[in-house]
Amino acid sequence: MKTMRVLLCVVLLMSGTVLAGGLVTNTNQSAAFMRTLNRNASTDVDAVYFNPAGLTKLCCNGLFIDIANQSIWQKKTVDDTTPNLNEQEFVGNVQALVFPTVYVAYKMNKLVLSGGFMPIGGGGSAEYEDGLPTFEYQLAGLVGIPAAGLNPALAPYGDINGYGLDVYFKGSSIYYGFQGGISYKINDLLSISLGGRYVIAKNSYEGYLKNMMLHTTTGVDLTTAILGPTLADKEVDAKRTGSGITPIIGLNLTMQGLNIGIRYEMKTTMEMENDTKEDGGQAAFADGAKIGSDLPSQLAVGASYQMGKIKLMSDFNYYGNTDVDWDGAEANFDNGMEVGLAAEYALTEKMKVSLGGLYSTQGATDESQSDMDFNLDTFTLGGGLVYAVTPKIKVNLGALNTTYFEGQNATKVEKYNQTTFGFAFGVQVKL
């Protein structure tokens, strides 16, 4: 009995990642990453993010610029076995068509100055045409009871056998990262780097629940006009902002074809504050409320090895999810981890092709999962090519597909699945 009309737009209600990385941090930060998935030992311009100390390995002195954009599509599915829901499968289509990164590096012999811009967290938009279970639980719980159970005067209407409502919810979440650093070559073996990232977080939430009704066995709809506060309309209009600084240190080691990059990002301490016009009766949206929103620390280690026309690459990332302040929610997470492997082959002097894989564990326990915010372990395959248009201009093309391992919530009434496809295009210029 489906009489519900729903329009629901959700843009990453929590600060979850668009694609690769930890619970908060996006690590899909270049077109070259999209085609390899393993860039922690990069000695190219995207090393501004992945391996700052490796920038000392740039080919020559001068200014280097890397500009790229990724387009990402996801499908999210929630299966809920709660009795009396109008639907048991809820499907969301997610897209982030604009996901830009910009890197600049200026090399002066042993010294390199660098800067970058990236969406370090959040991004994307989702539309669930049939809503989410969260918005229906209250009404579904009333199905099957006598109308008199709500008010004795409603006894003539019989039992409640269904419900309907209008839903609209729109949210956005984006963490902008502005990064700067300095790298120095100590000798042919060792380079070091020191830098930081300024993070600006902006979330917004708009939505409502209205025109809720309960259908009865006598064919009469019980509405707000009859039931009053039981089915009162609710509205949310809130914004949430915050900022923080991420200190970053790095090392790069080079020896006989082997390059090792090490980057450590310290925890970004951040608190976000609500600016609310309507809170919908939800404490989470109370005006002036402050929410712990730290970004976890990250240890990123990578290795690459050149063997003639073949280059092998491998990454390891470790996220300190348990050492953050998320207003207690961190208790439901373990630390996260990623490990990957890739190969690049030189077809010609101008063109190289690559293929990579990446396995990721998010550290999310069943207690942390919900229909509005679930985090699944993944395996990703990516591939593509890099082509030298001229000695000073290179183009990166990459695509990937991510497979997710099914998750569930603590009560086991909900199961979560997801798929992702992404495409990237980038241009690198030596001036």
**In the prediction, which pLDDT does 87 show?**
85
Question: Per-residue pLDDT tens for 110-129?
Answer: 999 999 999 998 776 666 76
- Amino acid at site 125: S
More confident residue, 279 or 273: 273
Separation CA 172–CA 203 (nearest Å) = 5
Q: Which residues pair with 108 in a beta bridge?
A: 111
Residue 16 predicted with pLDDT over 70: no
Q: Which residues pair with 279 in a beta bridge?
A: 236
- Amino acid at site 314: S
Separation CA 76–CA 15 (nearest Å) = 16
Residue 349 burial (10 A CB sphere; 0-12, 13-18, 19+): exposed
Burial annotation 171-204 (CB, 10 A radius, 16+ → b, else e): bbbbbbbebbbebebeeeeebbbebbbebebbbb
**In the prediction, which pLDDT does 21 show?**
76
**In the prediction, which pLDDT does 189 show?**
97
The 3-state DSSP composition of the chain as helix, strand, coil percent (nearest 5) reads 10, 60, 30
Separation CA 89–CA 327 (nearest Å) = 31
**In the prediction, which pLDDT does 348 show?**
96
Average pLDDT over residues 289-311: 95
Average pLDDT over residues 166-188: 90
What are the start-end ranges of the H helices in 82-142?
A: 137-140
> Domain locations in the chain?
5-430
- Amino acid at site 237: D
Q: CA dist 62 to 40, 59, 110, 191, Å?
A: 23, 9, 12, 18
**In the prediction, which pLDDT does 67 show?**
98
The H or E element containing residue 8 is: strand 8-10
**The CATH number of the domain covering residues in 5-430:** 2.40.160.60
Separation CA 302–CA 260 (nearest Å) = 6
DSSP label at residue 364: B
Torsion of CA 279, 283, 287, 292, to 10 degrees: -130
- Amino acid at site 401: N
Alpha-carbon dihedral sign for residues 118, 107, 349, 261 = negative
Residue 65 predicted with pLDDT over 50: yes
When pLDDT is cut at 50, 70 and 90, the band that residue 23 belongs to is confident
Q: Are 197 and 248 a contacting pair, CB within 8 Å?
A: yes
The H or E element containing residue 225 is: helix 224-227
More confident residue, 23 or 50: 50
DSSP sequence for 191-222: EEEEEEEEEEEEEEEEEEEEEEEEEETTSPEE
**In the prediction, which pLDDT does 430 show?**
96
What are the start-end ranges of the H helices in 66-144?
A: 137-140
**In the prediction, which pLDDT does 228 show?**
80
When pLDDT is cut at 50, 70 and 90, the band that residue 5 belongs to is very low
Mean of the per-residue pLDDT values for the chain? 90
When pLDDT is cut at 50, 70 and 90, the band that residue 13 belongs to is very low
**In the prediction, which pLDDT does 1 show?**
35
Question: Per-residue pLDDT tens for 197-256?
Answer: 999 999 888 888 888 899 999 999 998 888 887 788 888 899 999 999 999 999 999 999
When pLDDT is cut at 50, 70 and 90, the band that residue 102 belongs to is very high
Residue that is written with structure tokens 């949210």 in the block: 171
Average pLDDT over residues 130-145: 86
